[in-house]
């Protein structure tokens, strides 16, 4: 005779990710697993993100099928990108990946501080 016990089930507390707004089990910084992975990839690929942001300016790319520098996925429509420096290639992002890029470069905190003061 087989018995099934429901007492050992772990209840999962799902909440909304603050970046992609997906209902998921949140990891650190109120991010879902996907956003946490992308942010970790950005930190490892761009340890000098603040310098890259300071030396270049954000533009909009209208081409489709560009490779996202954060998640390696292809873009489908207009997306943010940073023009190439002499020693680097262009940096393209999905909107979600770009928001995480701004966080690791420090711009997101600066923008939030600027809006809360004014």
In the chain, where the domains are located: 14-117
Q: 47-102: per-residue pLDDT in tens?
A: 888 888 888 889 999 998 999 999 999 999 999 999 877 767 889 999 999 999 99
Distance CA(67)–CA(4), nearest Å, equals 48
- pTM comes to 0.77
pLDDT at residue 83, as a whole number: 87
- 3-state secondary structure (DSSP) of residue 66: coil
User: Which comes out higher in pLDDT, residue 118 or 87?
Assistant: 87
Burial 24-60 (b: 16+ CB within 10 A, else e): bebeeeebbebbbebbebbeeebeebeebbeebeeee
Least confident of 5-14, 25-34, 53-62: 5-14
């Amino acid at each position: 005779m087989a018995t099934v016990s429901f007492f050992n089930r772990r209840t999962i507390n799902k909440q909304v990710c603050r970046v992609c707004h997906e209902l998921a089990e949140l990891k650190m910084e109120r991010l879902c697993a996907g956003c946490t992975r992308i942010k970790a990839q950005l930190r490892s690929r761009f340890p000098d993100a603040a310098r890259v942001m300071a030396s270049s300016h954000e533009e909009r790319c209208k081409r489709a099928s560009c490779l996202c520098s954060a998640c390696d996925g292809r873009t489908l429509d207009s997306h943010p990108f940073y023009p190439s420096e002499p020693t680097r290639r262009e940096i393209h992002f999905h909107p979600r990946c770009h928001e995480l890029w701004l966080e690791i470069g420090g711009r997101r905190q600066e923008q939030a501080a600027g809006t809360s003061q004014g």
